[in-house]
């Protein structure tokens, strides 16, 4: 039986037992740019995504990190090796600082355009590097999200539609020049008509008035029409010449894309890469691919347009592809390169929310106990 003093000590002790601090889960979101991309390719998208995830997940330390700009030339395999080395070093540093040990950091790879190819190949390289299939994956990648990545190649209409736009710009330039030349001719005829002595207003003028007018604006008006028209025509022609760079940029960009990644010509290799991502998903690693879709725009484009080739509806990969609509971009290339800017993508904010949802799902699948249900 407890004594009175013992009862008093028990009753008077209101301090609750100390609960050991549970270290936060560590979630790293790695962004990888594509062809000729830079550190600013993703704009404020990573920081916005980090904020959304931090606000919607409990007891999780979230960091969105952009892989430093790299040379998008040479063999893709060399870029993959450099990225894996960088990711390994980063993971060690973050896990040591976090104090959770190896595997504490859960990683989601987010690649734009050819950055998605790099992410896919890096993931496959990490999976193959394990001593056996039962060994844990490290760095612990739990998801691979691609943004308009040409896993099956560039859509051939990217070239065709660039040609159509080039023709439209050329037609516009020709129309402007034609209108200017017409304006020049009409005003020259009008000027000549006004100088005809048979017209009453001109006949009523005195010789001195006529002489006076010839030294003023009237004297220079015909020349002004000609010079002004020439300037306008020159400006129109100059604009058309300047626009030629913009017109051909579609071709240069797309062909440069192909030149950098020769594997895009390897149909069998591209199919195998996509199959490997689906196999990785069976091991608990989420794979999703957002692709831009431009709505029809009559009369030139009666059908929706995409930058990438899509898998057939019967393909197992089709369900992993997610539409990202863009109604403000003028063509597929602008939609592709402007994916992470709200001014060039009216689906920007929805894209962020959907990306956050996928990452939360990947975190839940990986066993992170602190995720908020989606």
**Same-domain status, 178 and 211:** yes
Burial bucket for residue 40 (CB in 10 Å: 0-12, 13-18, 19+): exposed
**Same-domain status, 33 and 96:** yes
Two structure tokens written together for 257: 């894309």
Would 33 be classed as within a structural domain?
Answer: yes
Contact 199, 192 (CB under 8 A): no
Would 141 be classed as within a structural domain?
Answer: yes
Q: For the domain that residue 323 is a member of, what is the CATH number?
A: 3.40.50
**Same-domain status, 57 and 200:** no
Would 214 be classed as within a structural domain?
Answer: yes
pLDDT at res. 262: 74
Would 15 be classed as within a structural domain?
Answer: no
DSSP run (H or E) holding 95: helix 76-98
DSSP run (H or E) holding 21: none
pLDDT at res. 18: 53
Would 8 be classed as within a structural domain?
Answer: no
SS3 for 313?
coil
**Same-domain status, 239 and 152:** no
Residue-range definition of the domain harbouring residue 315: 24-157+262-365
Contact 105, 98 (CB under 8 A): yes
Would 87 be classed as within a structural domain?
Answer: yes
**Averaged pLDDT in 10-residue chunks for the chain of 374 residues:** 47 51 83 89 97 94 94 81 96 92 94 96 96 93 97 84 45 45 50 45 38 39 39 42 52 58 79 96 96 92 94 96 96 95 97 98 86 53
Would 18 be classed as within a structural domain?
Answer: no
**Same-domain status, 210 and 268:** no
pLDDT at res. 265: 78
Domain count, the chain: 2
**Same-domain status, 36 and 137:** yes
pLDDT at res. 12: 47
**Same-domain status, 317 and 348:** yes
Contact 167, 132 (CB under 8 A): no
**Same-domain status, 149 and 33:** yes
Rg (CA), the chain: 33
Would 66 be classed as within a structural domain?
Answer: yes
SS3 for 137?
coil
Q: What is the 3-state secondary structure (H, E, C) of 238-280?
A: HHHHHHHHHHHHHHHHHHHHHHHCHHHHCHHHHHHHHHHHHHH
Q: Which residues pair with 145 in a beta bridge?
A: 110, 288
Last residue of a domain, one of 229, 260, 291: 260
Residue 92 CB contacts under 8 Å (≥ 6 apart), including other chains: none
**Same-domain status, 251 and 231:** yes
Per DSSP bridges, beta strands 286-294 and 140-147 are parallel
The whole-angstrom separation of Cα 84 and Cα 90 is 10
Contact 327, 295 (CB under 8 A): yes
**Same-domain status, 150 and 280:** yes
């Amino acid at each position: 039986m407890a004594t009175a003093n013992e009862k008093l000590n028990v009753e008077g002790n209101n301090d609750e037992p100390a609960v050991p601090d549970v270290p936060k889960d560590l979630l790293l979101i790695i962004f990888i740019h594509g062809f000729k991309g830079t550190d600013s390719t993703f704009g404020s998208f990573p920081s916005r995504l980090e904020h959304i995830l931090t606000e919607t997940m409990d007891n999780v330390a979230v960091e969105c990190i952009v892989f430093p700009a790299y040379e998008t030339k040479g063999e893709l395999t060399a870029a993959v090796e450099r990225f894996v080395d960088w990711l390994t070093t980063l993971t060690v540093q973050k896990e040591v600082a976090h104090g959770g040990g190896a595997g504490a950091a859960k990683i989601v790879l987010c690649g734009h355009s050819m950055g998605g190819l790099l992410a896919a190949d890096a993931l496959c390289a990490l999976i193959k590097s394990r001593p056996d299939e039962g060994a844990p994956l490290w760095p612990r990648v739990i998801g691979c999200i691609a943004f308009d990545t040409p896993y099956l190649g560039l859509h051939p209409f990217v070239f065709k539609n660039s040609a159509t736009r080039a023709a439209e710009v050329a037609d516009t330039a020709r129309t402007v020049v034609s209108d200017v030349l017409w304006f020049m001719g009409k005003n020259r005829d009008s000027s000549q008509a006004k100088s005809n002595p048979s017209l009453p207003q001109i006949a009523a003028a005195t010789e001195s008035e006529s002489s006076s007018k010839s030294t003023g604006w009237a004297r220079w008006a015909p020349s002004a029409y000609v010079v002004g028209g020439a300037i306008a025509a020159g400006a129109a022609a100059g604009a058309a010449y300047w626009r030629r760079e913009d017109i051909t940029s579609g071709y240069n960009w797309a062909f440069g894309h192909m030149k950098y990644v020769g594997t895009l010509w390897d149909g069998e290799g591209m199919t195998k890469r996509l199959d490997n991502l689906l196999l990785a998903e069976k091991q608990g690693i989420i794979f999703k691919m957002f692709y831009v879709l431009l709505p029809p725009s009559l009369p030139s484009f009666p059908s929706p347009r995409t930058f990438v080739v899509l898998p057939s509806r019967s393909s197992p990969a089709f369900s992993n592809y997610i539409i990202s609509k863009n109604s403000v971009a003028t063509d597929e290339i602008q939609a592709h390169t402007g994916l992470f800017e709200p001014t060039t993508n009216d689906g920007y904010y929805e894209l962020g929310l959907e990306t956050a949802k996928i990452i939360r799902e990947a975190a839940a699948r990986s066993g992170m106990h602190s995720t908020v249900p989606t």
